[in-house]
Structure 1
Amino acid sequence: MTEQMRVAPEVKAVPDTVTAAFEDFMEAFEAFKDVNDKRLGEIEEKLSADVVTRDKMDRINRAVDDNKKSLDQLLLKKARPALGSGRDVGPEAAEHKAAFDAYIRRGDEQGLRELEAKAFSGSAGADGGYLVPPETDNEIGRRVSVVSPMRALSTVRMVSGAVLKKPFAAAGLATGWVSETAARPQTDTPQLSELTFPTMELYAMPAATQALLDDAAVDIEAWIAGEVDVVFAEQEGDAFVRGDGVNKPKGFLSYPTIAEEDWAWGSLGHVATGVAGAFKAANPSDTLVDVIYALKAKHRQNATFMMNRRTQAEVRKFKDADGNYLWRPPASAGQAASLIGFPVAEAEEMPDIAANATAIAFGDFRSGYLVVDRAGVRILRDPYSAKPYVLFYTTKRVGGGVQNFEAIKVVKFSAN
């Protein structure tokens, strides 16, 4: 095989199909492995890699990332079926859908007001607005989960109030073994604490022309869902990872971290790489193995690595003692890549590798992180503020935070 055939440094045009995108991604990864093997051979022979090889390595690494990004975008589009296309709905749902359509297209509130009065509902908030039909609400939530890895991996609870309060016993429940007829000794009184997860308001304001709204062929519900899903997902994803808890959910990286050997409830345990801002030169993958086994077995079996694309490009170069790559591409389109046998979730909100950065997380996020959704997405129609456009002030309330501090560990790029 010639060098020209083995290496495809240029990123191809975005493919038209998921299959073609996946094939391009796998081709780029094979080229990456060839050039990385050559780079490692040069380091072993001359103690440093050739500049041309390093440049080619970086170029192909970027090509792998770009092809994966193209594949992800195609999968996202594929996950967006049209709403309301030929599906049977009950009479109440059909009535709500028709009333909502009249409100969005013409600003006619009468139908929605009558439905609220009939249901004794307080759907209109202090600022006005109405809840979208449940079908649209569910579709927005489903699409957001496709885009946001944290929402997809975490536990999601639906609440009707503004705050979810969750009691817990940090020391666990008192238990013991007894015989069938023996007295049951009284256990110690559990020391309960409380975690609170307030919901915060997230908004988007898509705009439409009146001509678009007047066009009967346009599926208004699908248009609204398509306009807000990505922006909601981007805002949520950022907050779930690094939000400070002020008017937004508290991200898991905003909690204090402590060296794993000194870990205590209320903080996340970290495993240091031993070098500030980098992996150690010899056996860099040892740090990844250490963070895997810092997690208890009950959480480890459901654990996932989380990092951004740039960090993933770095760990993609690691090999085991037998020369096998530790990072493996997905087996098929739509599946996750794996690292040392565990799935990898790409979250661009994760920090880059830098001194003291916690650029890699590993954990059972379903046990460790809780997303709290307040039921309902509300829309307020505004035809006045940006004439001739009609604005749709779309809001939802969402909160989040760590619910189990032993279920998530992080890699800290520091000396200790």
Structure 2
Amino acid sequence: MAELAHAFEAFKETNDARLAAIEGRAPGDVLTEEKLARIDAALDTARTRLDRLALDGRRPPLGQGAPAPRDAASVEHKAAFDLYVRAGESGGLKRLEEKALSAGSGPDGGYLVPAEVERMVLTRLANLSPIRSLATVRVISGGQYKRAVSVRDAVSGWVAETAPRPQTDTPLLSELTFPAMELYAMPAATQTLLDDAIVDLDSWLADEVETAFAEQESTAFVTGNGVSRPRGFLTYDLVANTAWVPGKIGTVATGVSGGFAAANPSDVLFDLVYALRAGYRQNATFVMNRRLQSTIRKFKDSDGNYLWQPPLAADRAATLMGFPVAEAEAMPNAGANSLSLAFGDFRRGYLVVDRAGLRVLRDPYSAKPYVLFYTTKRVGGGIQDFDAIKLLAFAA
């Protein structure tokens, strides 16, 4: 935290010197520009280290076991799964499925991991995947989640105590469908690791798949096309926010193709913030990648205060104009007509659907002497409230 705060103070001092030179019509100093770029990179590095330290502090050590399950069925499942992973013995898992009258898995489809491992993976994904951590998450048992939304609200109004009540129009409903798509990872282990009794294989499996799953999810929730993957919020139909209609995402233009206006570039950020209704704004978050964040760090308000501020604690986010900033590398760089900045209440605006169950298929043959673990989970996503998210379009 001290390193991050020191880097930001150096950044402000150097950028102020650069701006003073520009206002004095002095030629640009190459050394100042290079120094500013180095400090900017140091800010990103310090923030990345802080996020990693915070995440590692919540991660259980590899050699320690997970908390003991509470009921006998969980104890039996964990023991059977551990034997399957270490030695390939699937008899215990088969007996559990027969007892549960389940025919949804097996040697071809893999076996369900214990509930503790699934919770561990999902918790880590929420820490690593920026959109998942902001969105609403629903766990389902089927292949898709359906939700009815109102396209037109019910008509209402004031009326006197004894006046007649005319019949009003009924609300117009539409159905949104969120299918759960399959996501896979294939970590490998040596037999020596599997034979080591002190190694907690639950934590090992979660360690191996978390990054692969998080990277794929983070991209899909932003730019996914909805074909064999979730649909990202940047792929829906767009409309200028002044003409917003349900079913489309409202946009605010910067007025300059591929960039911000030369004069008062931060004004459009205020336009974007107030394009969102007050009910959504109180829980809103900015979403952008680190390159755009580097540009916005230089913006000031009319009093000369920087709009971007570093986090106040290790588990807090940086803020822009008082709102949290989520860094999503899947967001595009600023370019002609790009949608590089999003602002909204993602808890109400975006829905992530997880199908219950994380499956593992043990494969000791394909990459001998390593043992592969084909791990799959099913996840979907899409916009559930089109009025809760606004986009900044880098367009004239």
Distance 2:365 2:290 in 1: 42
Distance 2:96 2:161 in 1: 59
1:369 is aligned to 2:350: yes
1:172 is aligned to 2:156: no
Match 1:278 to one of 259, 266, 270: 259
Q: Which SS does the other structure have where 1:46 is aligned? A: coil
Q: Which SS does the other structure have where 2:239 is aligned? A: strand
* Cα contact 1:251–1:401 (8 A) shared by 2: yes
Which residue is 2:115 aligned to? 134
1:60 is aligned to 2:46: no
Distance 1:93 1:179 in 2: 62
Distance 1:135 1:344 in 2: 31
Which residue is 1:51 aligned to? 30
Which residue is 1:108 aligned to? 89
Aligned pairs for 1:186-201 within 5 A:
186-201=167-182
Counterpart AA for 1:248: R
Which residue is 1:11 aligned to? none
Do the aligned partners of residues 220 and 182 (structure 1) sit closer, same or farther apart at CA in structure 2, a change above 3 Å counting? farther
Which residue is 1:12 aligned to? none
* Cα contact 2:124–2:210 (8 A) shared by 1: yes
Q: Which SS does the other structure have where 2:300 is aligned? A: coil
Match 1:216 to one of 192, 197, 207: 197
1:226 is aligned to 2:207: yes
Which residue is 1:80 aligned to? 59
Q: CA deviation at 1:187?
A: 2.9
Which residue is 1:291 aligned to? 272
Distance 2:107 2:150 in 1: 38
Aligned pairs for 1:14-413 within 5 A:
22-46=1-25, 48-82=27-61, 84-85=65-66, 87=68, 89-124=70-105, 127-177=108-158, 185-413=166-394
Q: Which SS does the other structure have where 1:104 is aligned? A: helix
Counterpart AA for 1:366: R
Q: CA deviation at 1:123?
A: 4.2
In the superposition, the TM-score normalised over structure 1's length comes to: 0.91
Do the aligned partners of residues 52 and 201 (structure 1) sit closer, same or farther apart at CA in structure 2, a change above 3 Å counting? same
Distance 2:54 2:322 in 1: 23
Q: CA deviation at 1:47?
A: 5.6
Do the aligned partners of residues 178 and 73 (structure 1) sit closer, same or farther apart at CA in structure 2, a change above 3 Å counting? same
Counterpart AA for 1:128: G
Q: CA deviation at 1:26?
A: 1.4
Q: CA deviation at 1:219?
A: 0.4
* Cα contact 1:36–1:317 (8 A) shared by 2: yes
Which residue is 1:8 aligned to? none
* Cα contact 1:208–1:391 (8 A) shared by 2: yes
Counterpart AA for 1:74: L
Do the aligned partners of residues 321 and 181 (structure 1) sit closer, same or farther apart at CA in structure 2, a change above 3 Å counting? same
Distance 1:270 1:131 in 2: 43
Do the aligned partners of residues 322 and 383 (structure 1) sit closer, same or farther apart at CA in structure 2, a change above 3 Å counting? same
Distance 2:162 2:78 in 1: 62
Do the aligned partners of residues 126 and 93 (structure 1) sit closer, same or farther apart at CA in structure 2, a change above 3 Å counting? closer
Distance 2:41 2:183 in 1: 33
Q: CA deviation at 1:72?
A: 1.5
Root mean square deviation, CA, Å: 1.6
Do the aligned partners of residues 97 and 184 (structure 1) sit closer, same or farther apart at CA in structure 2, a change above 3 Å counting? farther
Do the aligned partners of residues 171 and 390 (structure 1) sit closer, same or farther apart at CA in structure 2, a change above 3 Å counting? same
Q: CA deviation at 1:177?
A: 4.5
Q: CA deviation at 1:235?
A: 0.5
Which residue is 1:10 aligned to? none
Distance 2:149 2:315 in 1: 37
Q: Which SS does the other structure have where 1:352 is aligned? A: coil
Q: How many residues align?
A: 394
Gaps of 5+ in 1: 1-21
In the superposition, the TM-score normalised over structure 2's length comes to: 0.96
Q: Which SS does the other structure have where 1:35 is aligned? A: helix
* Cα contact 1:336–1:343 (8 A) shared by 2: yes
Counterpart AA for 2:24: E
**Residues 122-181 of structure 1: CA deviation (Å, up to 9, x unaligned):** 341693211110010001000000001100100001111111111112112333445677
Gaps of 5+ in 2: none
Percent of aligned positions that are identical: 58
